[in-house]
Amino acid sequence: MKTVFVDVDSQLDFLYPAGALYVPKAERIVPAIAQLNRFAAASGIPVVSTTDAHSENDPEFQIWPHHCVAGTWGQRKAGATLLEKRVVIPNRECPLDIEGAQQIVIEKQNVDVFAAPNLGRVIEKLDADRYVVYGVVTEICVLYAARGLLRTGRQVIVVSDAIETLKAEDSARAIGEITGAGGMLAPVSEICLR
Ligand SMILES: [Zn+2]
């Protein structure tokens, strides 16, 4: 069974108190995300890492505070979550050279990573049977990623102790939607045993 890991928005602006759109307690899941990514690399499992890469005046900033502007400190992924062989896929039509990459960083400007022009092509190319999803935040970008992946009809597992939320009740609703649509939950310890 071919598995792909999906590491959602593990970027400094979200993960740390100094970040522009800090998700409270999110720094506590960084070791789990790092462990999952390292496990994937050691097991030959590709990691798709979605990352916000906003322009200075992105329409999203009418809803959310300024965050993850391309090229800023906060837009960077947490160092511990980076893998050595990685390719960055920009948020525009471009050639797709992901052969041999351990980590495929998909830049996006929208909460829905499936709105990024290249994600569909990457997913198609990887052709996984199972997706393991984790990162921030549960009720927004993790939910959008899980929804889109569930629509492909493949197995989706959300890593219960490698996600963080802005609002507990919204998170519960998101998890309810994901499991209601056939998604599963599993802790890091179980994922890294498979
Ligand atoms: Zn954003």
Dist. CA 193 → ligand 1 center (Å): 33
Dist. CA 194 → ligand 1 center (Å): 32
Reported as a single tens digit per residue, the pLDDT across 108-121 is 999 999 999 999 99
Q: For residue 193, name the pLDDT band (cuts at 50, 70, 90).
A: confident
Q: For residue 194, name the pLDDT band (cuts at 50, 70, 90).
A: low
Q: Using a CB cutoff of 8 Å and minimum separation of 24, what contacts does 180-187 make?
A: 181/147, 181/150, 182/150, 182/156, 183/146, 183/150, 183/156, 183/157, 183/158, 184/155, 184/156, 184/157, 184/158, 185/157, 185/158, 185/159, 185/160, 186/157, 186/158, 186/159, 186/160, 187/159, 187/160, 187/161
Dist. CA 145 → ligand 1 center (Å): 14
Dist. CA 183 → ligand 1 center (Å): 24
Dist. CA 65 → ligand 1 center (Å): 9
Q: Is-above-0.85 flag for pTM?
A: yes
Dist. CA 170 → ligand 1 center (Å): 18
Dist. CA 110 → ligand 1 center (Å): 6
